[in-house]
Chains A and B, each alone.
Chain A
C-alpha cells in the first residue's frame, strides 16, 4: 500500500482541483458579473483618465479668458471654436474647465483617503489590540471628533490654517481618519478573540507580530470598503469647501469653485451651475457603485444573502 507523507498532497488529488486563479483574474471576473460594478469601474476609470490626459483632449484652455464670448449657452460656436457646454463670465469653456477640474477631485479623493486610511487603521488597530484604559481614552477622543460634523470641523480648521490644494488634502486626510479608527477597532475586538489568534500566541509569537500578521490582514477588508465610501465623502467635502471659498483657490480649477462662480450668475447662466454639479454627481455615483460592489465582493456573508 502507498503511504502518504503528512503535509504532502498526492499529485492525483491536485489534478482534480480547479486551476488556481490569480487575484487579478478573480477580481475582474467577479466585477464583470455585476452590472453595478462595471458601471462604477467605468465611471471611475473615465474620470481618472480625464485627470491624466485632460490637457491633451481639452477643446480649449481651461483658464484663458475670452471676453468676447462671455455667458454663451451650451452648443454655442464661433470663429474661436465650439463650446459644447457653454462659457462662463470670463468666456472660459465650461467643458474644458470640467476636464481640468477632474484632476483636483481625483487627487483629493485618492491622497486624502490614503492619509486618512493609514492613520485611522493604525489608530483603530492599536486601540482595539491594546485595550483597557488606553482603548477607552482613544475612543473618547474619536467620539469627540465625531461629535463635530465633518464639514464643520474642516471649515474651522481650513479657516485657521489657510486654504490651498496641498493644505486642503492634508486637512481632509488628517480629519477623515476617525471613521476608520472606530470601524477597525470594532473589527479588531472581534478578530482578537478568534482561535487563530490564540493559536499564534500559543506558537510563541509576540504581540506586535500577532497584530501585524494575524489581526491586520483580517480587518483590512473593512478598511477597503470604508475607503470607497470615504472617497465619495472626501470629493463632496472638497467641492463644498471650495464652493464656500475655504478650499482650493483660483487659478486652480475645481468643480466646487465653478459652482461658486455659477451661483453668482445663477439668474442668467444656468449652465455654469448645472454641468459642474453633474460632474460631481456622476463621479461620486461611480465611486458609490464601485464601493457597493467591493463590499459585496469582500464580504461573502452579504453576497450569500443578496
Chain B
C-alpha cells in the first residue's frame, strides 16, 4: 500500500508538470499572449512596452522556466484586471466553489445511492423503471437549463428563492440542487448496476443460503462491495461537477471559481485563467489521489494484490 501511494505520488508530480506545460502553451495558442491581452486602443509602442514588462520578448524556453519556477511557489503573476496576485484572486473564490461542490455532492449521493440500491433490489419494478427514466432524463438535460427552469419556478413565479448571488444562506439551494440532480442521475444507474453485479456473486448466495436475513445480506455483504465502484466513479464525476459548476455558477451568479474563469476569459485576464486552470487540475488530481487511497481502505483485495 505504501509503495502504491508513493508511486502514485510521483505520477501526480509528473502529471502536474505536464499540466503546467499545457497551461503555459494554452495562452500562446495564437502566438504572443500580448495580442490577446492588450486593449485594442494600444499603439505599437505601448504594446512593445507591455510585452517587455511581461517578459514576452524573451525566448519561449526562458519564459517557461520562469513561469514554472514561479508556479511552483504559487505565483502566477498579477491579475491584469484586478491588480492583485492571480493566485489570491483564485483562492478568494475557491471557498465558494468548494462549498457548492460539497453540498451538491451530498445531494447527489443522498439521492443516487438509496435509489440505485432500491432499484437493484426491486429490479424491473415500477420504482426501477421510474428511476431509470429519471436518470436518463437527468443525464440528457443541460444542467444550466435545469437551473434556469428552477429560477422560473422558484424565483419568478413562487418568489421564494433568490435567483442569483451568495448573499443569504438559502441562495445555495438552487445551484446545489441543479448540480446535485445531474450528479445523482449519473451515479444512480451506476450504483444499480454495481449492486446487481454484487447480488449475483457466490458469497451473496452463500450468505443467503446459510439463512441470513435479507436485510443482513444486503447491508453486510452486498452494499460494502457495491460501493467500491461508486467511490471511483464519484471521483471521476467530480470532474463533471467542477466543469458543470462553470456554467451553473454563471447562471446563478454564484461567486465561485467557475464564474471567475468565465469572467477572466471575457476580459482576457490570462494570469487568472492560468492560475484557475492550475487549481482545477490540482484539486481534481488530489481528490482522486485521496479516493484511490480510500479505495484501498475499503477493498482489501487491492491492498494485498
Contact = CB atoms under 8 A, between A and B. Distances in A.
Q: Which of B16, B139, B148, B285 has the most CB of A within 10 A?
A: B148
Contacts of A277: 141-142, 145, 148-149
A156 B26 contact: yes
Contacts of B285: 143, 147
A94 B247 CA distance: 23
A148 B277 contact: yes
B273 A148 contact: no
Contacts of B140: 232, 281-282, 284-285, 287-288
Contacts of A263: 148, 251
Nearest to B146: A277
A149 B29 contact: no
B246 A159 contact: no
B277 A285 contact: no
Contacts of B192: none
B145 A281 contact: yes
Given A277-B142, A288-B140, A148 B149 contact: no
B151 interface: yes
Interface residues of A, number: 45
Interface stretch (B113-121, B207-215, B260-268): B260-268
B262 A262 contact: no
A259 B139 contact: no
A186 interface: no
Contacts of A297: none
A96 interface: no
A43 to B, nearest CB: 10
A196 to B, nearest CB: 29
B243 A151 contact: yes
A159 B27 CA distance: 9
B250 interface: yes
B152 A244 contact: no
B2 interface: no
Given A152-B280, A285-B136, A159 B142 contact: no
A277 B145 CA distance: 6
A160 B26 contact: yes
Contact of B243 (A143, A150, A274, A284): A150
A280 interface: yes
Contacts of B268: 159
Interface in A18-76: none
A157 interface: yes
B266 A140 contact: no
Interface string A264-306: 0011001001100100111011011100000000000000000
Nearest to B250: A244
A245 interface: yes
Contacts, number: 142
Nearest to A149: B243
B22 A144 contact: yes
A218 to B, nearest CB: 24
Given A144-B18, A152-B243, A281 B141 contact: yes
B239 A273 contact: no
Interface stretch (A82-90, A124-132, A219-227, A235-243): A235-243
Contacts of A165: none
Given A145-B22, A266-B151, A151 B246 contact: yes
A143 to B, nearest CB: 5
A141 B246 contact: no
Interface in B239-294: 239-240, 242-244, 246-247, 250-251, 258, 261-262, 265-266, 268, 270, 273, 276-277, 280-282, 284-285
Contact of B281 (A141, A144, A244): A144
A202 interface: no
Contacts of B99: none
A188 interface: no
B136 A156 contact: no
B156 interface: yes
Interface in B120-150: 136-137, 139-142, 144-145, 148-149
Given A240-B144, A285-B140, A159 B265 contact: yes
B265 A156 contact: yes
Contact of B30 (A148, A153, A160): A160
Nearest to B20: A144
Nearest to B157: A270
B247 A244 contact: yes
A155 interface: yes
A230 B109 CA distance: 24
A146 interface: yes
A250 to B, nearest CB: 16
Given A155-B262, A156-B277, A270-B156, A243 B11 contact: no
Given A149-B280, A160-B36, A270-B156, A155 B149 contact: no
Interface of B: 11, 14-16, 18-19, 22, 26-27, 29-30, 36, 136-137, 139-142, 144-145, 148-149, 151-152, 156, 163, 239-240, 242-244, 246-247, 250-251, 258, 261-262, 265-266, 268, 270, 273, 276-277, 280-282, 284-285
6 contacts: A147-B15, A147-B282, A149-B284, A162-B30, A281-B142, A288-B136
| 5 interchain residue pairs of minimum CB distance | A149-B243, A159-B265, A277-B145, A144-B18, A151-B243
